[in-house]
Structure 1
Amino acid sequence: MSTITTTSLQTSYPPILPRQFSANQPQTIRLYPLSNYTFGTKENQPEEDPSVLARLKRLEEHYEIHGMRRTCEGILVCHEHNHPHILMLQIANAFFKLPGDYLQAEDDEVEGFKLRLNERLAPVGNQFSGDGVNDEWQIGDTLAQWWRPNFETFMYPFLPAHVTRPKECKKLYFIQLPKSSTYLHAMHPGVFEEDGLMFTTEVLSVPKNMKLLAVPLFELYDNTARYGPQLSAIPHLLSRYNFEFVDEDGNVTAQTPGSEQPSNGIKVLAGDDLEDADMKEEEAEDVKLKMENGT
């Protein structure tokens, strides 16, 4: 039996290679594994409004003073077993949302968005020492814009023709997580040494009353019943990109299309009750070992 080395495929029947099919492609995005990042918790961040009606009332008050409200949320992407995962917050074991929030009226769009990301995910307090590790968020492409025509819960990925004064616009930005932090904080958790240099893993910290989840694309796809139209559309938004999947040593282990099977489901990273995770850490390691052994 002959061995075909292309894409690590071993078979006696070599594949039929089509002509080049990569014209007008966007950039290839490099994704790093979940294990490159450290996850923790910080103080609760209760919701500003006790009900949906109260939230819409506050939106109306904002509109009367400042006009259309600007909201920014981030699609933070990493990988597990060579399949893209989205970092997502879960509130009260039911409500899912992306990191981010509405901007203050006086905020610059990008800088204000970075501040909102830090409020949600940057470590604070005694658990993580040193300055915020997430000062340099890599704000990428705007992948979607959702519009709220009226003081109602409905938002649309288009602006209806008869609407000239929308009440809110929400932008979803692509955010590529870095390989790891490279600033020097000897007392920072997750510090390791390589070739005489000190490195730290990137730290993301979630409020205690929320969960930080890593949700695979296959879980989001066509799942509006659980995640709603905005989040379930993320696989469509990311389909424009090609991905390189990098291991902990910085080696590219797979490219689009991937050579390994995706993980089994959502992985709880931090916050709330970790005992409620759909996949326990032991189960995750068992699945990873089976995948590595090809069983």
Structure 2
Amino acid sequence: MSTIAPTATQSSRPPIIPASFNANQPKTIRLYPLSNYTFGTKENQPEEDPSVLARLHRLQEHYEQHGMRRTCEGVLVCHEHSHPHILMLQIANAFFKLPGDYLHPHETEIDGFKSRLNERLAPVGTQFSGEGVNDEWEIGDTLAQWWRPNFETFMYPFIPAHVTRPKECKKLYFIQLPRTKVLSVPKNMKLLAVPLFELYDNTARYGPQLSAIPHLLSRYNFEFVDENGDVVAMTPGGAWGNPADMPKTKVLAGGDEEEEV
């Protein structure tokens, strides 16, 4: 009888079973597949400012009238091939941002944030009907706070020691997406599904705020659900069996083309 040599997944020695490592487990979040969601487009939403200098000038005017600006953005998470993907907007084929915006001075934080999400992503008119069209946004944990100490572009994940009056505070919230939802993006923007590994340590492309999202989400465990509602994988997951199934950034709606990036 011939002897079969051990392979990468076989060994002549039994595996070493590690000790329990389950104390103080993080919260488990259920993620639904990208195919569960419907994506469309709506009328353009041009940027308020023609340049960065104009945007900073408007921030200064806001600060002089109302004090520190409050900004809320959402981290919307789904999955593709059992890997978390973040839904984000791309403007002018170059600039990436999360859904959300600054709050008006008279608005409360959560209600104002929901209004900004609807302005960016809610369908309009009778474009869509049925399940998932008018679902309420479920605002989850605050994942991070970023501070703008001066009328400059750079923000910090802390308030510098010499700053007593920051000009803007931006909060990133985890948004628990329901099983199905309809989302519409302005035609002058693209809605992308970006895998976590594409964001990780990629400040050159996405900047420090977006590239930090994988770190922020490491506080959770994930359950990955298929279109039938069955859990097919959970953290930690296995490798992809087919290289063609490797997750990649996808254009979901908006822009001139709808293709994989």
TM-score (norm 2): 0.90
Partner of 2:185: 206
User: What is aligned with 2:246?
Assistant: 263
1:124-273 counterparts in 2 under 5 A? 124-129=124-129, 133-180=133-180, 202-261=181-240, 263-273=246-256
Q: Is the 8 A contact 2:81 2:247 kept in 1?
A: no
- What is the deviation of 1:173? 0.4
Q: Is the 8 Å Cα contact of residues 30 and 222 (structure 2) preserved in structure 1?
A: yes
Is the Cα contact below 8 Å between 1:83 and 1:263 reproduced in 2?
Answer: no
Aligned partner of 2:44 in structure 1 is 44
**Corresponding position of 2:5:** none
Q: Is the contact between residue 42 and residue 125 of structure 1 (CA under 8 Å) also seen in structure 2? A: no
The whole-number CA distance in structure 2 between the counterparts of 1:219 and 1:176 is 21
Task: Structure 2: state its 5+ residue gaps.
Answer: 1-8
- 1:86 corresponds to 2:86: yes
CA distance in 2, matches of 1:172, 1:210: 20
Give 2:115's aligned residue: 115
Partner SS state of residue 78, structure 2: strand
Kept after mapping to 2: 8 A contact 1:147/1:169: yes
Name the stretch that deviates more: 11-20 or 117-126.
11-20
Deviations 1:121-180 (Å, cap 9, x if unpaired)?
000034224798345111000000000000010100000111110000000000111112
The alpha-carbon deviation at position 260 of structure 1 amounts to 3.9
Contact 2:147–2:159 (8 Å) recurs in 1: yes
Provide the secondary structure at the position in 2 that maps to 1:249: coil
Contact 1:114 1:135 survives alignment (8 Å): no
Residue of structure 1 in register with 2:28 after alignment: 28
Deviates more, 1:22-31 or 1:243-252: 22-31
Aligned equivalents of 1:151 and 1:223: distance in 2?
25
Residues 134, 16 of structure 1: alpha-carbon distance in 2 compared, 3 angstrom cutoff: farther
1:59-100 Cα shifts (integer Å, max 9, x gaps): 000001110000000000000000000000000100000000
Q: State how far apart, in whole Å, the 2-side matches of 1:111 and 1:135 are.
A: 15
Report the Cα distance in structure 1 between the residues aligned to 2:20 and 2:163, rounded to whole angstroms.
44
Aligned residue-pair number: 249
Q: Counterpart of 2:159 in 1: which secondary structure?
A: coil
Measured at CA, do residues 253 and 132 of structure 1 come closer, stay the same or move farther in structure 2, by a change above 3 Å? closer
CA contact (8 A) 1:122 1:132 kept: no
Q: Using the alignment, how far apart are the partners of 2:108 and 2:12 within structure 1? A: 58
Residue in 2 aligned with 1:97?
A: 97
Q: Secondary structure at the match of 1:274?
A: coil
One-letter amino acid of the structure 1 residue matched with residue 100 of structure 2: G
Code of the aligned partner of 2:219: R
SS of equivalent residue, structure 1 residue 58: helix
Q: Which amino acid aligns with 2:250?
A: K
What is the TM-score when the length of structure 1 is the normalising length?
A: 0.80
| Structure 2: distance between partners of 1:171 and 1:84 | 21
Amino acid at match of 1:240: R
CA-CA distance at 1:10 after TM superposition: 9.4
Residues in 1 aligned to 2:148 and 2:94: alpha-carbon distance in whole angstroms: 23
Q: Quote how far apart the aligned CAs of 1:27 are.
A: 1.0
Tell me how far 1:273 sits from its aligned partner.
1.9
Q: Is the 8 A contact 2:73 2:171 kept in 1?
A: yes
Distance in 1 (CA, whole Å) between partners of 2:131 and 2:20 is: 47
User: Amino acid of the residue matched to residue 47 of structure 2?
Assistant: E
